[in-house]
Amino acid sequence: MKNIVLTGFMGTGKTTAGKLVASKLGLSFVDVDAYIEKKAGMRISDIFEQFGEEYFRDLETECIGDIVQKKNLVIATGGGAVLRKKNVQLLRQNGVIVHLDATLDTILKHTSRSENRPLLQGQTAEQVKQRLASRTEFYQDCDFTVCVDGRTPIQVAQRIVECCKA
């Protein structure tokens, strides 16, 4: 079975759904952000603060390169991973890409209390809306889209499993 790769904007529930899918299918779960934090020995917010976004993006590409060497994984990517073509190529090599889609309302609800998402700090709803719009075309480059609005994480996980088995 190919790796199952979850993409989507911050707050679409990639990590939560990914863990559920992995346990349903008996696969291992890898969260790219957690992998980056472990490799760097720093929290994402500190990486951004001390070294900037470009440095974080390079680290993200390096970590994705490590992770895709393994099989039988469910991989939850960070919301910006799809912005680099190289990352998408790596993830596609042995993976089926499932985009978790959500409305701005859902995203704002899910991220209202985040403190480890530097790109959302101090952002207005309008700014988040613009960032989401600017990424739409990147998220569309996927094998399946699963809408998370009004669905519980278990329902989202079920949909992902159905898509990947089809």
Please report, as ranges, the residues that interact with ligand S3P according to CB under 6 A: 10, 14, 33, 44, 78-80, 117-119
Identity of residue 62: E
- Residue 118, CA distances (Å) to 77, 113, 127, 162 in order: 16, 12, 13, 33
Please, which residue, 1 or 140, has the CB nearer to ligand S3P?
Answer: 140
96, containing H or E segment: strand 95-101
Q: Which residue is nearest to ligand S3P (CB)?
A: 78
DSSP string, 42-86: S-HHHHHHHH-HHHHHHHHHHHHHHHTTSSSEEEEPPTTGGGSHH
- Tell me how far, at minimum, the Cβ of 89 lies from ligand S3P, in Å: 18
Please, which residue, 34 or 163, has the CB nearer to ligand S3P?
Answer: 34
- Tell me how far, at minimum, the Cβ of 78 lies from ligand S3P, in Å: 2
Please, which residue, 118 or 153, has the CB nearer to ligand S3P?
Answer: 118
- Tell me how far, at minimum, the Cβ of 140 lies from ligand S3P, in Å: 16
